[in-house]
Chains A and B, each alone.
Chain A
Amino acid sequence: MTPRSARALAAALLLLPPAPPVACAASAAGQPADTLAASAPGSAAAASGQSAAPANSTARAGAPASGGARHDSAPAPAIRFEEIGARAGARLTHHIRKFHGNGAGVLQMFTSGGAAVAVGDYDNDGYEDLFVTDSDTGRGCHLLHNNGDLTFTDVTAAAGVGGGNEPGMIVSDALWFDYDNDGRPDLLVARFGTPLLYHNEGNGKFKDVTAASGLNKFTNAIAVIAFDYDNDGYLDLLFGNYFKPVNLLDLKDPHVLPNDLDNAVNGGGVTLWRNQGNGTFVDVTDKAGLGRHTGWTLDVGHGDFNNDGWQDIYLADDYGTDRLFLNNRNGTFREVTEEAIGFDTKKGMNVDVGDYDRDGWLDIYVTNITDEYMKECNMLWHNNGVDASGKLTFTDVSRETGTCSTLWGWGAKWADFDNDGWLDLIAADGLRSAGEKNYIPVLLEMIVRPGVDFTDVNNWPDIGDMTWSGYQRKKLFRNLGGQVFKEMAAEAGVDNAMDGRGIAVADFDNDGLLDFYQTNANQPSLLYHNRTSSPGNWIELKLIGTRSNRDAIGARVTAKVEGATLIREVNGGNGYASQSTTRVHIGIGGARRIDSLEIRWPSGLVERLTVPLNHLSYVKEGSGVVAGPGNGGKAKAKGRSARTKDAP
C-alpha cells in the first residue's frame, strides 16, 4: 500500500475526530508516512475538524460502544471459540511436583499450582509467543514461538529457558518483562525456591542472569507481576508468596500449613524487588511498607485504582483476608483494606483489573471458592471512586452482576471477546479431577476434630486417588452492558472440565479477536481461537515506553467513543498463573470512529492521537504511532478485509 492510498483509506476509515488539545508536543507527529494513523494535528483530515461517515459506508457489526441501540441490523455478536491446541502445536501437559515421605499427598495438593503461561512477543516479530511452565522434577518449561499462522514451534532448547525444576525448586509462574529497557522482553520464572531471570539476548537465545541480578531470596512464590511502583522508568517485581519460606521438599518441621482456614496469618506474604536500573534488584519489601503482610498470597495485581497516576496493589490471599495497598508516591504503600474493601475470610485465588462498567475507575475481579460445601462467592469489586474526603471505596457486586460463582476458582481475565466495547470475563476452575471417591467428607472429619492442629501436615488425611472439586466447567461471562453478565461458556465452546489454572489472553493471529490459552494442573493445556461472528470494530495498541518503562506497564489508554469512556491499563501479569498480552485491545462495537484517544504514560506524559480501526498500532512514547518493530506490516488485521471494505 502506498502512503497516499494508506492515508486515503485511513481518512475514510478513521472518521477523524477534531484535533484535540495536545498535551504532549510530540503527539502523533513524526510518525512514519506509511502508517495509517493520518491523524496528527495539522493533517488534512484533522484540519477538517470532523469527518462524516462516507455516504456509502455502513456501520460495522457489533453493538455500539455506547451500549444503546444498534446502529444497523447487523446480527449481535456470537462469541464462539475453537480449541486448537493440538493442531497448533501448543498442547503441553503440566506435571505437578511429586513429594515423598509423610504428608506427600497433602503437600502435593497444597502445591498443585504451577501450571502457568506467559504471553510475550520475545522476538518482536509482531506475533505473541508463549512460555508455558511445568513443575515436576526433570520436566522442562517450554517456549513456543508463534509462526504467525496459528501454529507454534517449540524453541525451548535453542533459547535455553527450559530449566527450573531442579531438586529443591518448583516452577510456579512466569513473566515476560523488559527489565533493562533494551526493547527485548526478558523472562522471569518464579519458583518455590529462588527465581530465575533470563536476559533476552536478541538472537533467539536467553542468558541466565539470576546470580548477577540479586534475585536471590528463597520464597515459596506462586505469583509474580512486574510494574513500576516508583515510576522511575524501570520495572520492579512483586512476588506473591504462598507458604512461609521453608523448603517443602526437605521439610524439617511439619507445621507449615495454614494456622486458620479462614484467617491464616502464617503464610509467605509478598516480596517487592526494586529494579535499580543497572541489571540488579534490591528487596524493598519492608521499606515499601509491605513487610507486615503474612497472608497466604495466591495472586497479586496492580492498577491505578485511585486515578492518581501511580500504581496500587491488590493481594488475593488464600485462607484469609485480601489486602489493598495504595501508592504513597514516595516509594511506599499504605494499607487501606479496612476502609476500602473490608476484611474477608475467603479463599482469594485471582486478581484481574478492568473497568467493566466504563465509569472511569478500575474494578477488580477476585475468584474465591463457591462450591457445594463452601459458598463464598467471588468478589467483583466495583470501584466507587474517591469521595470528597479522599477515601477510596469498593463494593462487591458479584451477586448482582451474576459473576458470583466460578466454583473452585482460579485464574480469570477481563477481555472484550466480541469487541462490543464491554469487558467480558473468562474464568478457570477445578481443583483435582481424579477417582470417584470425594475427598470432602474425609477432610470434614479432620476439620471438625476438636483441637486439631491444621498446620501439621500429618494431620491432614491422605487424598490418594480421591477427587476434590474436580470436573468443573469453565465460565465465560459476557458483559451485557456494564451492569450484568451472562454466563455462556457452553454456548461459546469453552466449558471444558479440566483442572484449570491460568488464563492468558492475546490475539495470537492478529485478526482482531482475542484468543486465550488455558493451563491445567497435571493435565494438557488448551488454546482457544476466537471465532466470534459479527464482532465489533477495534483498535489494538502496542505501547513502547521511552521515558517510561519500555513495556509501558502502567500506561493508561482512554478512548472516548460515542459518549462512552473506555479505559485500559497495561498490566504486567495480573491474574493467577498467567500473563496476558501487554497490548491494549479496545473493542468499540458498531462505532466507526473513536472520538478521542489518550495515553497517559507512567512518566506522566499525556499523548493524544488517532490510530486506524481494526489494526494493531505501535505507539512510541513521545513519538506517536510508529512502525512496528520487526514487521509491523504483518501485525495488522488478517482475514478481516471484508470488514474494511465499507470504506471507499
Chain B
Amino acid sequence: MNRRLTWFFLAAGLAPAAAPTPGPANQSPAPSNRPPAVEQGATAPAAGPAPGPAPGRDPAQSNQSPAHSDQSKPDLGAMESAIAADPESLRTASEYRQAVIRAREYDRAIAFFEKLVADRPQSANAWLNFGYAYVDKIPAAGSISQVILANNALTRFSKSIELRKSWLALYTRGNSYLYWPKIFGRAPLGVADLEEAMALARSGPRKNVYARNYVALGDAYWKTERPAKARATWEEGAKLFPGEPQLKARLARAGNAEALEAYISDQLDPNKRVDTDLRPLWEGP
C-alpha cells in the first residue's frame, strides 16, 4: 500500500487509488475480475447512549491487541470474532480491515460491519469502522460507485459522531468532506468538523497525530477561500509540531498560491489511494 498518505488523510470522499483500469498489462494493480456491485446506502440503526471513550479521549487507549493469524493468509473469521467481542477496539478492527484490503474482501467487511452495528448499535467505533470499510472499497470501484461508497461512509461516520464525538471521528469526517469536489459544497462542513476536532485535541495531552488536524483544518480553510486563516493554522501547527512534513510542504508554498493550490489538490486527489491503517494512533507518541 502506498503509505505516502498516512491514515490522517483518510478519504471517505471519492478516494480511488489504483486506477480502476486494471489488468495484467496495465501498470496499475488490478483486480482479476470486475468489481462487485456497490451496496446502496444501508439505513443506520437508531442512535442510543454513547458508551466508550468520552469526547477527546485518546481512542487508542481503549484498544486491545487482538490475536491475529498469518498476514499472508489472514483468518478473517477469527478476526471478526475478536471484533464482535470488542466492537470498540479500533486496533482489532484496523488490522482486520487491512487484512480485508489484502484479500480484496471488501463486501465481506461491509457485510460484517453492517451486522455488527445491527447487533451493537451503540458502539461508536463500530460505526466508525463501518465507514472505513466503505472507504477501503473505494479504490476497487468505478467512478460513480465511488461516490456512493463515499456517501455511505459519511453516513456511518455521522452515526459514530452522533453516538460519541471523538476526535478521530470528527477528524475523519471533516477530512472526508475535503475530498468531495467543490461543486458539492462540502468543504464548509469539513471546516466545522475539523474545528471541533481541533478543540478536542487542544483539550487533552498533545499527541503527534494531532499535527494532522492542523494540516487538514488549514486545507479546509484553503478550500473555502480563506488563505490567511489557512496559513495561520499551518504556522500554528508547525510551531507545535516542527517536524511535520505536510505542514512544512504547505508553508514552503505559502507564497505561491498557484503552487499551493496544485499541491493541495494533489494531496487530496481522489485518484490516489489513501491509507486507512490506524496504527499511528497507538504506535506514535
Report chain A residues within 8 Å CB of B183.
372-373, 438, 440-441
The contact of B41 among A375, A379, A448, by CB within 8 Å, is A448
Q: List A residues 358-376 near B (Cβ within 8 Å).
A: 369, 372-376
Q: Evaluate contact between B28 and A263: CB separation under 8 angstroms.
A: no
A374 CA to B30 CA, complexed, in Å: 20
Indicate if B108 sits at the interface (CB-CB under 8 A).
no
Residues of chain B with a CB closer than 8 A to A344's CB: 20-23
Shortest C-beta distance, A346 to chain B (Å), equals 6
**Of B16, B26, B37, B38, which is within 8 A of A342 by CB?**
B26
Closest to A438 in B: B183
Cβ–Cβ < 8 Å partners of B182 in chain A: 372
Interface mask (B23-48 → A, CB under 8 Å = 1, otherwise 0): 11111101111110110111100000
Contact A441 B23, CB 8 Å, known A345-B141, A447-B147: no
The reply to whether B181 and A373 contact each other, CB–CB distance below 8 Å, is: yes
In this complex, what residue of B is CB-closest to A337?
A: B23
Q: Are A260 and B141 in contact (CB under 8 A)?
A: no
A465 CB-CB contact with B under 8 Å: no
Residues of A within 8 A of B181 (CB): 372-373
For residue B36, which residue of chain A has the nearest CB?
A263
Q: CA A15 – CA B109 in complex, angstroms?
A: 70
Give the residues in chain A near B28, CB-CB below 8 Å. Answer: 396
B19 is contacted by which of A261, A377, A449 (Cβ under 8 Å)? A377
Measured CB to CB, the nearest residue on chain B to A381 is: B25
Could you tell me if A321 and B34 are in contact, using CB atoms closer than 8 angstroms? yes
Nearest A residue to B269, CB-CB: A375
Given A263-B142, A373-B181, check contact A342 B25 (CB 8 Å): yes
Tell me, rounded to whole Å, the shortest Cβ–Cβ distance linking B58 to chain A: 33
Determine if A374 and B22 form an interchain contact, defined as CB atoms under 8 angstroms apart. Answer: no
Closest to B29 in A: A342
Complex Cα distance A448/B147, Å? Answer: 7
In the complex, what residues of B have CB within 8 A of residue A201's CB?
Answer: none
Query: In the complex, A444 Cα to B13 Cα: how many Å?
Result: 13
- Given known A-B contacts A395-B25, A395-B26, A452 and B40 have beta carbons under 8 A apart: yes
CA distance A393 to B30 in the complex (A): 14
Q: CB-CB < 8 A to A639: which residues of B? A: none
Q: Does B270 contact A (CB under 8 A)?
A: yes
What is the CB-to-nearest-CB distance from A630 to chain B, in angstroms, rounded to a whole number? 46
A374 adjacent to B144 (CB under 8 Å): yes
The answer to whether the Cβ of B89 comes within 8 Å of any Cβ in the partner chain is no
Instruction: Indicate if the CB atoms of B143 and A450 lie closer than 8 Å.
Output: no
Nearest Cβ on chain B to A298's Cβ, whole angstroms: 15
Known: A340-B23, A375-B271. A263 touches B34 (CB 8 A): yes
Task: Count chain B residues whose beta carbon lies closer than 8 angstroms to a beta carbon of A.
Answer: 41
**Inter-chain contact B20/A393, CB cutoff 8 Å:** no
> Which residues of the partner chain B approach A448 to less than 8 Å between Cβ atoms?
41, 147-148, 151-152
Q: Is B98 an interface residue (CB 8 A)?
A: no
Q: How many A-B residue pairs have CB under 8 A?
A: 123
Contact between B25 and A376, CB atoms less than 8 A apart: no
Complex contact A342–B21 (CB within 8 A):
yes
What 1/0 mask marks residues of chain A from 83 to 121 whose CB sits below 8 Å from any chain B CB?
000000000000000000000000000000000000000
Complex Cα distance A373/B179, Å? 10
Q: Complex Cα distance A261/B141, Å?
A: 11
Q: How far apart sit A369 and B148, CA to CA, in the bound complex (Å)?
A: 17
In the bound complex, how far is the Cα of B34 from the Cα of A338, in angstroms?
10
A394 at the interface (CB under 8 A from B): yes
Cβ contacts under 8 Å, A261 to chain B = 142, 144-145
Closest to A340 in B: B25
A345 and B142 contacting across the interface, CB-CB below 8 Å = yes
Across the interface, A447 reaches (CB within 8 A) one of B26, B42, B144, B269, namely: B144
Q: Which of B33, B142, B184, B269 contacts A262 (CB 8 A)?
A: B142
- Cβ-closest chain A residue relative to B39: A450
CB pair A341 B144 closer than 8 Å: no
Report which residue of B30, B34, B148 has the largest number of chain A beta carbons within 10 angstroms of its beta carbon: B34
Q: Is the CB of A342 within 8 A of B24?
A: yes
Residues from chain B with a CB closer than 8 A to the CB of A342 are 21-26, 30
- A384 at the A/B interface (Cβ < 8 Å)? yes
With a cutoff of 8 Å between Cβ atoms, the chain A residues found around residue B270 in the complex are 375
Q: Which residues between 324 and 342 of chain A lie within 8 Å of chain B, taking CB atoms? A: 338-342
How far does the alpha carbon of A35 sit from the alpha carbon of B68 in the complex, in Å?
81
CA A41 – CA B35 in complex, angstroms? 58
Q: Distance in Å from the Cβ of A461 to the closest Cβ of chain B? A: 15
Q: Do residues B42 and A450 form an inter-chain contact, with CB atoms below 8 A? A: yes
Contact of A374 with B143 at beta-carbon distance under 8 Å, contacts A342-B30, A343-B34, A440-B183 already known: yes
Contact A346–B25 (Cβ < 8 Å): no
Alpha-carbon separation in the docked complex, A374 to B270 (Å):
9
Q: Is A451 an interface residue (CB 8 A)?
A: yes
A91 nearest CB across to chain B (Å) = 33
List CB contacts (< 8 Å) of A540-598 with chain B. none
Contacts of A444 in B (CB 8 A): 147, 184
Q: How far is the CA of A384 from the CA of B24 in the complex (A)?
A: 12
Q: Which of B132-186 contact A (CB under 8 A)?
A: 141-145, 147-148, 151-152, 181-185
- Flag if A451 contacts B184 (CB, 8 Å): no
B31 touches A343 (CB 8 A): yes
A450 / chain B contacts, CB cutoff of 8 Å: 40-43
Binary interface encoding of chain A residues 428-470 relative to chain B, with 1 for a CB under 8 A from any of its CBs, else 0: 0000000000101100100111111000000000000000000
B185 nearest CB across to chain A (Å): 8
- In this complex, the member of A343, A369, A377, A440 whose beta carbon has the largest number of chain B beta carbons within 10 angstroms is A343
B22 and A451 within 8 A (CB)? no
Whether B23 lies near A341 (C-beta < 8 A) is: yes
Q: How far is the CA of A374 from the CA of B37 in the complex (A)?
A: 18
Which residues of A from 392 to 441 have beta carbons under 8 Å from B? 393-397, 438, 440-441
- Contact indicator A369/B143 (Cβ below 8 Å): yes
Q: How far is the CB of A164 from chain B (nearest CB, A)?
A: 33
Docked-complex contact A338 and B40, CB < 8 angstroms = no
Q: Which residues of B contact A440 (CB under 8 A)?
A: 183-184
A185–B42 Cα gap in the complex (Å)? 57
Please report the C-alpha to C-alpha distance between residue A449 and residue B41 in the assembled complex, in whole angstroms: 7
B23-A343 in contact (CB<8A):
yes
Given the interface pairs A341-B23, A373-B184, the reply to whether A451 lies near B142 with Cβ below 8 Å is: no
* Closest CB in chain B relative to A187 CB, distance in Å: 36
A residues in contact with B26, CB < 8 Å: 341-342, 394-396
Which residues on the A side are within 8 Å of B185 (C-beta)? 441
CB nearest to B20 among chain A residues: A345
CA distance A438 to B184 in the complex (A): 10
Q: Shortest Cβ distance from B148 into chain A, in angstroms?
A: 6
CA A373 to CA B14, docked complex, whole Å: 9
How far, in whole Å, are A342 and B151 apart by their CA atoms in the complex?
27
Tell me the minimal C-beta distance from A447 to chain B in angstroms.
6
The answer for the CA separation of A208 and B182 in the assembled complex, in Å, is 52
Asked if B24 and A339 make an inter-chain contact with CB atoms under 8 angstroms apart, the answer reads yes
Contact of B35 among A345, A374, A377 (CB under 8 A): A345
Interface-central residue, A344, A346, A438, A452, by most chain B CB under 10 Å: A344
25 A-B contact pairs sorted by A residue (CB < 8 Å): A261-B142, A262-B142, A320-B142, A341-B26, A342-B23, A343-B30, A344-B20, A344-B21, A345-B35, A346-B21, A372-B182, A373-B183, A374-B144, A375-B16, A377-B19, A377-B21, A377-B271, A393-B24, A440-B183, A447-B144, A448-B147, A448-B148, A449-B41, A451-B40, A452-B40
Known contacts A340-B23, A396-B21; 9 additional CB pairs below 8 A are: A262-B141, A339-B25, A341-B25, A343-B22, A346-B143, A347-B143, A373-B14, A373-B184, A448-B41
The 4 closest A-B pairs by CB, nearest first: A342-B23, A262-B142, A345-B142, A393-B25
Residues of A within 8 A of B (CB): 260-263, 320-321, 338-347, 369, 372-377, 379, 384, 393-397, 438, 440-441, 444, 447-452
